[in-house]
Structure 1
Amino acid sequence: MAVTGSEGSKSGTPDAGESPLLRAGAEAVERGELREGLRIFERAAQVEHGDLRLCALVDVAVVTDRLGDHAAAAERFREALSQIPVDARRMYPGALIGLSQALQNLGDLDGAQEALERAREALGYDDAPGDLRLACLVSSTAVALHRQQWWRALDLASESLDAARRFGPEHAGHPLMNLAAAHFETGRWELAQDFAGQALAAFGAVDDPAGVAETRQNLALMHTRTGSFEAAEPLLAAAQEYFEAAGAAHRAGIGRKVMGFIAEQRGQTDAAEARYREALHRFEESHAVIDAADVRLRLATTAFAAGRFEDGESELALARGSYAVRGLGLHCAQLDYWHAGLLEPLVTQVPGLLARAVDLAVPAALALDAVRYELPDGAQRDSWNRRIVNPALRLAFRYAYLAGDARLVADLIENQCAGTILDIDRLDAAPPAPLDLFEPFDPPSESAAAVQDALQLGTALAAVAAGAGLPVAPPPRIAVPPDGHIALSGWLEAAEQRYGRRVRADRVIPA
């Protein structure tokens, strides 16, 4: 799912005073005329001086990123940062937050996190601008969502929502949408749609057409992934009209990908592949490498369905390479599981393919199974197991059985019988310090009633969502009699090396 970044990187010009050109550019962007806004800001960068010129440079970078040229945006942000004094109270941290957003879109999550850490340091003084502190939290949530760090994303999104309530309700849309994304990915679909509805109301109340369009697109994606295509299509069409008119290539590419998926599910293979190719072109044009990898997975699926197995393998290899080089181990595990499933019709026909399918399916299933201990409550763990883990383990069992590997089948059974262990240390420990180490925000500003309603309901939903569940420990290792060997030992090692994730605790229990 697309995640919500931040509008906090706008310079806002308090450091610099007034500029008719900057005001005109901002008005054009607010109308959705991104290219006109970019033209005006570029002109301002040529004719303004001092802080106003620096503000223009930052605004050029922000709009370039929104247009989807993320590589150029990152260069523009770096150019601006090389000239902005580190004590510029708004421009310097704002540019760092904007740089983080561009780097997230480029898939450079380490660079994005580093930029955010620098921004937090720059905002560490007592009366730092609250909207930028909030923007830093929102962007940190987006990084956690990209990394599929669900627990951290939920914590950060909840904290962001509380910060919006305390500082300014008009900024509530982004944390609400990030809460929707995090809960959707961990199986709380109804709750996610409630949060997304509140985000839509919040963006609409402050007349933010870009926020409205992004939220409509995200809602459409939720409906699509739950099979409600009729509910998705009007939202998708409205969002796509905005992004195409604004020239926002990256977001338009996301819309094309969702259109392709709907066509694929309806059996319209040619139309699906055409939409996927259009999306891939937009993503490559924007250097949005993670989204490009995601759509390659769909292209691999259509290629396998059409019997073009070499094309499908090529797409999967390109996608996996993009995930792996960025340290996205869970993405790699999900792709390997999907790859193993695509091989199923062929494993009894192609010599040697069954062994490869086993090698893909078993470590991927173990890595996906281990995710449950990271989730904050039992409902989310149950949903993750039902939707993700159980199908992956069924595939691993099936391939182990077809391969005639009795020991692997037995070890998989022992692994599943081990159950879940309560994490006493985490249960007894004092609650962690809040992730936002800043001082309290100023009182909320006056805002539209619809935004206040969205905040009140969103905060209530967040409190309910956070109130359930006991922490669990990472799954233990199982010693299997009579020889006492560790069940799946080689497979566990392969999973941890392959995906760069801890999939089992060091603790050993007898079968």
Structure 2
Amino acid sequence: MTDDDLIGVHGKETTGPRWAPFRDLNNTAARLFTEGRTTEAAAMFEEAYRLTLVDDLDAAGFDARARVLGNLSSLAEARGDTGEALRLAEEALFACDSAEHGAGDRYGTVAVRTNVLIQRAQTYQLLGRFDDALTDLDAALELIDETDAGHNNRLLAFTLHNTRTVQLIRLERLDEADAAARHSLELATAHDPRLAGHPYSNLAMIAQAHNDHDAATAYLRLAEQIHTASGDPVAAALAIANQGRSAARQGDLDTAERLLATAEQAFLDGQQPLRAAEIRSSRAHVAFQNNEIDLARSLLPQAIETLREAGHVVMLAEALALLGDMLAADTGLEEAEHAYLEARALYEATGAPYQVARLDMRRSIAIADAFERETDPQEQQRLLLSALYLSLPSALATDAIRHQYAPGPAREQWAATVAIPAMAHALHLAMTVGDGALISELLEHMSATVSLHAPPQPAEFTAAEPFEFPVHDFEADQLSFAASAFITGSSTGFPAAHFALPPRLRVNPNRPSALELWIAETERRYGFPIRSDQVVDSW
């Protein structure tokens, strides 16, 4: 493979004989990183960086420094040292300033700056700092001319849109994420088909969020084949890991363990402990599902430690939720609740209301299981009401998320495989409590489809007195820094095509609504409306 064959941001013109040794080191290291030979790559990048530590550094040298610092930033993230990754990215941007001050864009430094911003946005996403990530992506977008058919612009446009896909997935804006992933796929197909595996993996993650296991598996197999054929073992290992997670959700636990163990070993061999920890957490989940409790206990603590040190909030939250499940089944609810609440706080901080609702449902299920085991009537009643208090708002919120989808299969898949099972659990608890009025109104609420038309004037309610989902452990597929290495060259709203929120229902005009207080609590708890302010009579 020549330097021109490497997928990466190339320089506009040669930086001259002075920087030829740097070019050789940097480009060879980029190739080694692509092959998963991380330790060798790191040593070479460090050697290349040291060549730029001279007093008489010219503009070409500052451009070179920016490129190698970008590569070192990515290596730091792969090791799980996100603080160092951000520091190196900042230093790379300062080097870009100096290069551009001395030579403008003669050496292609603007493309380097753009790529550093995109890569830093990916680190921010890992940390759950989505506002900072969006700021960097917006800044990068201003630097990209998508009408320019040159290599750098086409690669950067792809990388930007692929990263934006991940941002939208994390923000639970799945319709927009799907559109962004498909646009990324078009860009990859037109520019360099070796890149297509990344959007295929992200399309798999979106399909998995809808419980469409067959589509997810098909996308992941395509991604693995493309990454393997293009000589990117790291990205191929990620696709294999996600196939393992998909197999686990379909109940094929033996296949799941085999695939996850294979992927974990690949990341360990490639000196990428953070990725390995993500997979180890998934292996612990599979072991717990398979009733291999000792194995789960041996895998999970080390994974949590690595994820916590790196600040990888999404996967840390999933690992802590699993810890809660394990503690609830073993030592009891009190210790489990500490783990659950830490996971919940992480999801809440990242602005992921569905994940918060899903976590609350897990807490409810754990309490309901404890209710089934309890023999004391008073304690049974307390547990039952606690389970309902968590379950019903979670189910109402989960059902309302369908209204954020455009009409189509994804919306119906969400309703059938996510919302309805959640509501079934809440209904079961309400029936066990024996609250007939609540059950009646809840059934009417579920029957109120978007075909109902509310009257133009609002009505008042008289309030009463107060009173297994898709697992988010898939890893989205960023364009790895090995595939976007710096080669030295010679809105918040959903799309408009959605239904409006359904109205609230007045089931019985002669008594206060039993459900209205639950709706208000749901909207307070998760921060978004689940019904419009308008009211219709259901009788």
TM-score normalized with structure 2 length: 0.80
Give the match's secondary structure for 1:478.
Answer: strand
1:309 and 2:321 correspond:
no
What's 2:287 paired with? 263
1:488 matched to 2:515? yes
Structure 2 residue aligned with 1:436:
none
Q: What fraction of aligned residue pairs are identical, expressed as a percent? A: 27
Superposition map of 1:418-497 within 5 A: 418-421=448-451, 471-483=498-510, 488-497=515-524
Question: Is residue 409 from structure 1 mapped to residue 433 from structure 2 by the alignment?
Answer: no
Structure 2 CA distance for partners of 1:483 and 1:67, relative to 1, 3 Å = same
CA distance in 1, matches of 2:87, 2:510: 60
**Structure 1 CA distance for aligned equivalents of residues 13 and 258 of structure 2:** 42
The reply on whether 1:33 has 2:44 as its aligned counterpart is no
Aligned match of 2:92: 80
1:172 alignment counterpart: 196
| Residue matched to 2:396 | 366
Match of 1:385 among 415, 435, 440: 415
Deviates more, 1:14-23 or 1:147-156: 14-23
How far residue 11 of structure 1 moved from its aligned partner, in angstroms, is 4.7
Q: Which amino acid aligns with 1:309?
A: L
Q: Is the 8 A contact 1:107 1:288 kept in 2?
A: yes
Query: What letter corresponds to residue 71 of structure 1 in structure 2?
Result: G
Aligned AA (2:68):
A
Partner letter of residue 25 of structure 1? A
Aligned counterpart in structure 1 of residue 424 of structure 2, from 372, 376, 394: 394
Partners of 2:41 and 2:295 in 1: CA distance:
34
**1:187-217 deviation line (CA, Å, top 9, x unaligned):** 2221221111211121122111111111111
**Aligned twin of 2:465:** none
Shift in alpha-carbon separation, 1:356–1:287, aligned structure 2, 3 A: same
- Letter in structure 1 aligned against 2:169: L
State the 1:382 CA deviation: 3.2
In structure 2, distance between residues paired with 1:253 and 1:377? 38
- Give the corresponding residue for 1:159: 183
Q: Residue 356 of structure 2 aligns with which residue?
A: 332
1:24-103 correspondence to structure 2 within 5 Å: 24-48=28-52, 49-85=61-97, 88-103=109-124
Aligned pairs, how many?
A: 458
CA distance in 1 between counterparts of 2:332 and 2:360 reads 19
Report the aligned-residue RMSD: 2.4
Deviations 1:239-290 (A, max 9, x none): 1121011121221012111211221122111211221112212212322122
Cα 1:300–1:47 shift into 2, 3 Å: same
Query: Offset at 1:302?
Result: 0.9
Q: Matched residues in 2 for 1:372 and 1:155: separation? A: 17
Q: 2-side partners of 1:308 and 1:12: how far apart?
A: 57
Instruction: Tell me how far apart the structure 1 counterparts of residues 13 and 294 of structure 2 sit (CA, whole Å).
Output: 53
The TM-score normalised by the length of structure 1 is: 0.84
Give the match's secondary structure for 2:536. strand
Aligned equivalents of 1:82, 1:485: Cα separation in 2? 64
Give 5+ residue unaligned stretches, structure 2.
Answer: 1-5, 53-60, 454-496
> Are the counterparts in 1 of residues 204 and 217 from structure 2 also a CA contact under 8 Å?
yes
Query: Are the counterparts in 1 of residues 318 and 343 from structure 2 also a CA contact under 8 Å?
Result: yes
Alignment CA distance shift 1:120-1:316 (3 Å) = same
Residue pairs, 1:341-352, within 5 angstroms:
341-347=365-371, 349=376, 350=379, 352=382
CA distance in 2 between counterparts of 1:421 and 1:65 reads: 49
Task: Report the residue type matching 1:180 in the other structure.
Answer: A
Give me the whole-angstrom Cα distance separating, in 2, the residues matched to 1:333 and 1:399: 17
1:230 Cα deviation (Å)?
3.0
Counterpart Cα distance in 2 of 1:125 and 1:97: 15
> 1:242 corresponds to which residue?
266
* Residues 16 and 256 of structure 1, relative CA distance in 2, 3 Å threshold: farther
The whole-number CA distance in structure 2 between the counterparts of 1:325 and 1:363 is 19
Asked if 2 retains the 8 angstrom alpha-carbon contact of 1:479 and 1:485, the reply is: no
Question: Which residue of 1 is the match for residue 139 of structure 2?
Answer: 118
1:30 offset after TM fit, Å? 2.0
Structure possessing the higher radius of gyration over alpha carbons? 2
Q: Does residue 502 in structure 1 map to residue 529 in structure 2?
A: yes
* Cα distance between partner residues in 1 of 2:527 and 2:12: 44
Go from structure 1 to structure 2 and tell me whether the alpha carbon gap of 1:242 and 1:13 turns closer, same or farther (over 3 Å shift).
Answer: farther
**One-letter code aligned to 1:372:** R
Counterpart residue identity of residue 111, structure 1: D
Contact kept in structure 2, 1:200 and 1:212, CA below 8 Å: yes
Confirm or deny: 8 A CA contact 2:36 2:270 kept in the other structure: yes
Q: Is residue 297 of structure 2 the alignment partner of residue 285 of structure 1?
A: no
Instruction: Indicate if the aligned counterparts of 1:93 and 1:122 stay in contact, CA closer than 8 A.
Output: yes
Greater RCO structure (CA 8 Å; 6+ sep): 2
Amino acid at match of 2:389: D
**Secondary structure, counterpart of 1:327 in structure 2:** coil
